[in-house]
Amino acid sequence: MSAPDPCPFASEPTPEGEQSLVPGVTPITLADRLAWRAAQPLGPAKAQRPCDLGLFDVAARNQLELFGAALRPAAAADPDPLPPPDPGGG
């Protein structure tokens, strides 16, 4: 009776040591890597400035000066009100 084969897969010697070859799995070739790179979307060559104008200006959306007076209470709007009129008429 012989001992079972310790590695059921084929193998090949490499500089790193013995490597198992799994059936149905092919090594990644340079052509495979280049095809993958070609399928990826293009990116900018350098960092781009944000579009901060018009509809896309996020900072302008935070400006509420136009509506600020309507949102503030009346007492806070006038910090130094005039004294009430003198009831004596003088």
Residues 37-84 pLDDT 10s: 999 999 888 998 877 777 777 777 666 666 666 666 655 555 566 667
Q: Which residue in this structure is represented by tokens 């084929």?
A: 10
Helix, strand, coil shares of the chain, percent, nearest 5, are 30, 10, 60
Tens digit of each residue's pLDDT (9 = 90 or more) over 12-42: 888 999 988 888 888 889 999 999 999 999 9
| pTM of this structure | 0.34
Can you read off the two tokens belonging to residue 45?
């060559």
Query: What is the distance between the alpha carbons of residues 17 and 11, in angstroms, rounded to a whole number?
Result: 10
